[in-house]
Amino acid sequence: ILLVVSGNTVPFFNMTVVYVPEDLELGEWGSLREALGCRRSGRGGGPGQGLTLPVSPGQHAFQLMATDIDGDPLTYSISGPDAFYFSVDAQTGNVTLRNSLDRELLPKFTIIVKVFDGKNEAVSKKLTIIVEDRNDNAPVFQYLPYETSIPENMKLNSIIYTVFADDSDTGNASKVSYSIEEVIPDSGKNHWLFYILPNGSVVLNGSLDYATNAFYQLKILAKDGGGLLHNVLTFQQSSTYLSLTIRDLPNLDPRFLNEPYSGFVPENCSLGTTVLTVTAVDRDTGVNDEISYSITNASVPFAISATTGTITVSGPLDREQLPSEEVLLEVTAREKNLDIHGKVAQASTMVAVMVTDVNDNKPQFYRCSLPSCDFSTSAQNNFRGNIIEHSSSRLPVSNLSIVAHDPDKGINSNYELYLQGPNASAFTVSPTKIVGTGEVQLLVQDPSSVDYEISHVMVVQIIANDMGNPTDCCSTATVTIDLIDSNDHIPEFPQSTYNLSVMENSPTGTIISPNITAYDPDSGVLGQITYQLLPESIRKIFTVNAMTGAVLVQNGSLLDRETRSIYYANLQAKDGGNLVGTTVLEITVLDDNDMAPIITGSYFISVEEGQNVRTQIQAIDNDEPGSRNSELGFKILPGPFSNNFTINATTGEMHSKEPLDREALEDERGQVVVTVEVYDHGVPKLHTSVNVTITVGDMNDNAPMFCNQSYEFSVFEDSPGSLVGEVEATDADRTEINSRISFLLQRGSGSSNFLIRSSPLGRGYYGGQLSVDPDMSLDYDTLQQKFFFLVVLAENTAADNMGDTASVSVVVHILDMNDEPPTILPASLQDVHVSENGTQQGLVHTLVASDPDTNHSLVFEELAVTCFKGASSAGEVCWDWFVLAPNGSVLVNSSDIDYELCDRVVLTLRAEDLYTKKGNRYSQNETLRILITDVNDNTPLFLPILQTFVVVPEISPVDLQVATVRATDADSGPRGAIAFSIVSVVLVEDNGVSRPFENLFKVVTAPEQDSYVGSIQVASNLDGSLKGQYQVTVEAQDSEAPAHTAQTVLNIFTVDQSYRVRLQFTTTVDKVQSNSENIKAALTTVTKAGVYVVAIRSIEDTRASQVEAKSVMEAYFVYSNGTALDVNQLSVLIQSDPQVLAQLVKLGLAVIGPGEVMKPTRETELIGIIAGLAVFLLIFILIMTLVVVLTTRSYKRKLSAMKALKVATTFSPAMAQQGAGIPGTNQYNAEGANPMLNLSLDPSHDLGFHEDSSSVASVNSLDENTVNAPEDNNLKVMQGKAQLTDPTDEEVLVAALNLKDPTKTAYINTTFTTTDL
């Protein structure tokens, strides 16, 4: 197909797809169908369905834009099944919304857009409408309703239920998030009990309890991620309810109702009497397990029904025998089944049963005192007491403990008391009435009757009468009362005075006198005597036996003869009637040796060294004078100096045996301590000791003494003021002044070069520091002798005789000083070569240094490490590759040495002389270069290919570069040199078939700055008919053994001859060639593709085109991604840019057509012309034959139709045969009439059987069975009103013959097929 560029061009659309948001709004009213709520759903229906009212236009949807190069006014229209959604302004092309859009129902549809320029045929194009989503849908919950049941013991964080809501929108608007809005009941407390995950899973967040809540209802909100709706960010949401039923589980113990429980029952009631009923229920109301009851108390007279909980009396009840009238029963309720933990579910409660009293006991008498009475013991009937004769009235009988007790309670325990018996009138009972328990007393009522001389004993009976129990009312207690006689005699001692003695310090309890007794003629108690000592203060020292009268020591520590030697006391005797008699005791304290000697005075004596000592020890003893206890003796106790002294044992005079020596004493103060003991002669002997301290004064009687016989020192030259050494001397004198020592140098050769200074080192111990005179400088080199001989004197400055001195010889050696810095030998700083990858280990170099000093110790120190790669720094990569030992050894410290990271390591170092005493101890800083030797250890690496390679075989001569590859090798020199080679070439055709080729391409290697480039070139002619892409495998190999290789695959897209485009120009070949650059620039501008011109040549035959072309340019239009344009695509692109199109027309472009696959030769052209003529002749003969046949058939149909019409007029309508229509065309069925349309025609009118004019009928009129003649406007109107009929309708021809109006205006003849045409 050829596109003619010149002349009036048709308009064209540049748009293929438009995007319309679904939330566009309609006009004010919209269509009637929508006004009635009948929004269109699905694809059914179209324009014309429903009545549409005139409405204001809806929102702007999109703009139809067509381009007309000629600038003609354009008219727009739209059509198609889905065009009813829009209205278009025919003049402006503005498209507005007519019916609502819904992306969820119809996301994409197609309409036909047309543009008409008034001159050419209307141009139509399919336009795809993509409905853009808007957030107009709320999430919709699926699979409703949501309800489930869960056990109350569900674990925390368990998933309860998963809800799901779907949002038919897209993007964020379709992403649904969930939240719990409300929890029923009591959302405030229970809202935390659940939470929901992003996937809709509802999770338990707390503990459930069926007893608290058996049902929950969760209001769940589903909310989308939000999106635009009417240009406003809108969030859609919906909610639903999740119903949760809590299943009760047996996890709770039963519970008693109506607690606390208490009941009453009378004592002595019948067995089986009901007390009360307890009731327990299972708190797990959803389980409601069976409950049994039991009493857990042991030995209680009650029983309980296991099923009903009724408590009854099971044994005899005696309130008085019970521990308490209130009996506490522990009742346990147990569930029949175990709980969820496998344990017995039970609960206990206390039931208080009050046993009420019955008057079934009489009062009894007991011998006790309240409140310590035990009424569980047997009652007593006989009691005994006493009272002094003639006691006063209301005085109670003594020693009588009677308690009356009635175990009954309340009014049942009331009783009265009264007396009976021969002596009842002499006494009365108190009280006369008692409730329960009370103490009973007998009181004197008639004192004159209580007479010891008349009777020593009286007897009465106490009657207790329970008036509420007439059958067993009374108890009797017989009381015997002993009368007590009165006192009328005084105790008497045989002597008025007693002389006694006792040893001092006697132990407590020592008997001084065994018995001192008095006599009292009264009998009984009145005649019983007790003794005591007076005054009361004497009782601290002495005591008396109250019954026997024996006198004893009360506190022996208070008996001290030295304090008091005699005591006087009164001994008192008292009878039972408190009558008293006394006697005098004189107690003498005897002496005991209990006093140790006492030394008087202190004994501190000072004496000069070399003198004797004499002193007297004074002492006393406070024991009885003249006795052995106070006689004293003296002695010296053993000690360090006991042998140096003697003492008189009787007088205590002490003196030294010989003069004292101060230097013989260890004590610094010169003190001698002698201990003297003073003792008595008593039994046991007592003694006291005293220290006699004698201080011996020091005399300067000792000369100094050197600690060594001689001294030898050394000192470095040129060291003024330096310490040479120290001499030491001692002085035996004990005082500081007598032992002080000073040193001086005896004049002699060299002594003026030194100084000596004294300093104390201890008591009597001094040192002399010998040093070089600060003003003197000793030069080792100028001294003939390298030493000095000195004499040092030690002198005691406090000596009376200044000649008390000592001397010692001192030799001082002069030493050479280390004061020269070391030097590193340059020969050891030569470059060191080390191979990478750890191929060398251990020692790789040794540094050497020298020092002119005779005594030196040299070590090496590494100061810095610097890494280089070429001329640039390599950072810290090499810091641990090498280590410098102190002895100068350079060692490999790592196996990670990599030439590609660092090729030069520079060590900064120095040498140090450890023995340097003066001056610089370090050498100058030096550097040692370690050069890393490369090893072929890296594989070539292809660089990424960022471009697409395309080859046009037709214009690709041999040696043409069609692709390039780049590779690098981290190795250096020949090890990193790369050579490329082609391993294989495979053509992958469009149908997937692979075909291998050989020698199709070659590669040329060339070095660049940091890489190697492989130029892929054509090695032989390429086949232009092949479609697909070449897969070329390229290999890169380095140049040193062991060689390393790498491969990569290149894709070279081939552009075959089907993409060759032929551009015809009205200008000459020379003109086209001169304008070729402008033509290519224009084509490149409009296509954005590379233009590859195959040839420019003249053209002779232009008969096929409507314009006269003089030259043709054949070219390919190829993109960098390997795709190419065909002629149709190129035509569309050129037409889409009117400016470029105009420029190309100006340059002579006339026709764009497909390129010629191959250039024919003259012989080929002749053969083609001959073959074309033959084919044309054959086609012409066939056409003529077909025309004759069809004409013949046409006339036969006319004749048949005329015959049928004539025959039909002879039949009545009722006799008309019903059936198929008359064979013929759908244009006219008979001369003079067209029964299909009920139109009268002139039989003489040309029916057109001999011609087929497209101006009379449409090409497809047969298929529609209607005539569409543009000349007949009435026919169009009828055609618009035509309705389709059922095949069973009456034949139209019959209606025509009956001269009636046809019932239908059109009829589909099912017998007509396109073969009739």
Under DSSP, the state recorded for 261 is E
Distance CA 1244, CA 1229 (A): 14
Q: Using pLDDT thresholds of 50, 70 and 90, give the confidence band for residue 300.
A: confident
Name which residue leads in pLDDT, 84 or 1243. Answer: 84
Q: CB under 8 Å, gap of 24 or more: what pairs does 288-294 form? A: 289/250, 289/254, 289/335, 289/336, 289/337, 289/345, 290/335, 290/336, 291/254, 291/333, 291/334, 291/335, 291/336, 292/333, 292/334, 292/336, 293/331, 293/332, 293/333, 293/334, 294/331, 294/332, 294/334
Task: Give the pLDDT score at 235.
Answer: 94
Hey, how many other C-beta atoms are within 10 angstroms of the C-beta on 666?
7
Q: Using pLDDT thresholds of 50, 70 and 90, give the confidence band for residue 54.
A: very low
pLDDT tens readout for residues 950-992: 888 878 888 888 899 999 988 877 778 899 999 899 998 878 8
Tell me the percentage of the chain whose pLDDT exceeds 70: 86
Q: Which of 357-366, 598-607, 737-746, 1162-1171 has the lowest mean pLDDT?
A: 1162-1171
**Amino acid (one-letter) located at 1151:** V
Task: Give the pLDDT score at 1105.
Answer: 46
Q: Using pLDDT thresholds of 50, 70 and 90, give the confidence band for residue 1208.
A: low
Mean pLDDT score, 538-553: 90
User: With 70 as the cut, is the pLDDT of residue 1234 above it?
Assistant: no
Mean pLDDT score, 448-460: 85
Beta strands in 637-703 (DSSP E): 645-647, 653-656, 671-680, 687-697
Task: Give the pLDDT score at 1307.
Answer: 35
User: With 60 as the cut, is the pLDDT of residue 1159 above it?
Assistant: no
Question: How is residue 1113 written in tokens?
Answer: 């340019």
Task: Give the pLDDT score at 1288.
Answer: 37
Nearest C-alpha neighbor of 64 from the set 45, 86, 84: 86
Q: Using pLDDT thresholds of 50, 70 and 90, give the confidence band for residue 1155.
A: low
Secondary structure (H, E, C), 65-76: CEECCCCCCCEE
Mean pLDDT score, 182-191: 82
Task: Give the pLDDT score at 1274.
Answer: 42
Task: Give the pLDDT score at 1206.
Answer: 67
Mean pLDDT score, 574-590: 88
User: With 60 as the cut, is the pLDDT of residue 1259 above it?
Assistant: no
User: With 50 as the cut, is the pLDDT of residue 1261 above it?
Assistant: no
Q: Using pLDDT thresholds of 50, 70 and 90, give the confidence band for residue 1226.
A: very low
Distance CA 219, CA 391 (A): 100
Q: Which of 743-752, 797-806, 1018-1027 has the lowest mean pLDDT?
A: 797-806
User: With 90 as the cut, is the pLDDT of residue 905 above it?
Assistant: yes
Instruction: Tell me the range of 474-483, 513-522, 668-677 where mean pLDDT is highest.
Output: 474-483
Task: Give the pLDDT score at 590.
Answer: 87
Name which residue leads in pLDDT, 289 or 522. Answer: 289
Distances (CA, A) of 380 to 365, 386, 418, 475, 476: 6, 18, 17, 10, 9
User: With 80 as the cut, is the pLDDT of residue 1251 above it?
Assistant: no
Mean pLDDT score, 1149-1177: 70
Q: Which of 142-156, 919-933, 1266-1280 has the lowest mean pLDDT?
A: 1266-1280
User: With 50 as the cut, is the pLDDT of residue 1084 above it?
Assistant: yes
Task: Give the pLDDT score at 488.
Answer: 54
Q: Which residues are CB-neighbours of 176 under 8 A, at least 6 positions away? A: 139, 165, 166, 167, 200, 222, 223, 224, 225
The helix/strand/coil state of 85 is helix
Task: Give the pLDDT score at 1241.
Answer: 40
pLDDT tens readout for residues 400-413: 989 999 888 878 88
Task: Give the pLDDT score at 665.
Answer: 79
User: With 80 as the cut, is the pLDDT of residue 1248 above it?
Assistant: no
Q: Using pLDDT thresholds of 50, 70 and 90, give the confidence band for residue 101.
A: very high
Distance CA 1246, CA 1252 (A): 12
Q: Using pLDDT thresholds of 50, 70 and 90, give the confidence band for residue 1089.
A: confident
Mean pLDDT of the chain: 81
Name which residue leads in pLDDT, 717 or 49. Answer: 717
Task: Give the pLDDT score at 1156.
Answer: 52
User: With 70 as the cut, is the pLDDT of residue 366 above it?
Assistant: yes
Name which residue leads in pLDDT, 652 or 853. Answer: 652
User: With 90 as the cut, is the pLDDT of residue 835 above it?
Assistant: no
Nearest C-alpha neighbor of 955 from the set 1054, 1099, 1075, 1063: 1054
Task: Give the pLDDT score at 627.
Answer: 83
CB 618 within 8 A of CB 599: yes
CB 363 within 8 A of CB 405: yes
Task: Give the pLDDT score at 93.
Answer: 93
Distance CA 834, CA 1095 (A): 64
Mean pLDDT score, 298-323: 87
Nearest C-alpha neighbor of 730 from the set 766, 770, 768: 766
Q: Which of 215-219, 541-545, 1264-1268 has the lowest mean pLDDT?
A: 1264-1268
pTM surpassing 0.85? no
User: With 80 as the cut, is the pLDDT of residue 1306 above it?
Assistant: no
Q: Which of 4-8, 86-90, 620-624 has the lowest mean pLDDT?
A: 4-8
Q: What is the CA radius of gyration of the chain?
A: 74
Mean pLDDT score, 1045-1065: 87
Distance CA 180, CA 394 (A): 93
User: With 80 as the cut, is the pLDDT of residue 36 above it?
Assistant: no
User: With 80 as the cut, is the pLDDT of residue 310 above it?
Assistant: yes
Distance CA 189, CA 185 (A): 9
Nearest C-alpha neighbor of 476 from the set 398, 418, 413: 418
Mean pLDDT score, 704-710: 90
Under DSSP, the state recorded for 385 is E
Q: Using pLDDT thresholds of 50, 70 and 90, give the confidence band for residue 800.
A: low
Task: Give the pLDDT score at 124.
Answer: 93
Q: Using pLDDT thresholds of 50, 70 and 90, give the confidence band for residue 675.
A: very high
Nearest C-alpha neighbor of 1208 from the set 1121, 1298, 1074: 1298
Task: Give the pLDDT score at 1219.
Answer: 38
Q: Using pLDDT thresholds of 50, 70 and 90, give the confidence band for residue 1107.
A: low
Distance CA 118, CA 116 (A): 6
Task: Give the pLDDT score at 226.
Answer: 93
> H or E segment at 1243?
none
3-state helix, strand, coil in the chain (%, to 5): 15, 40, 50
Question: How is residue 873 written in tokens?
Answer: 């720094």
Mean pLDDT score, 627-645: 88
Task: Give the pLDDT score at 995.
Answer: 86
Cross-strand bridge partners of residue 808: 792
Q: Using pLDDT thresholds of 50, 70 and 90, give the confidence band for residue 1308.
A: very low
For strand 926-933 and strand 832-835, is the pairing parallel, antiparallel, or unpaired?
parallel
Task: Give the pLDDT score at 32.
Answer: 34
CA atoms within 13 Å, Cβ hemisphere of 500? 24
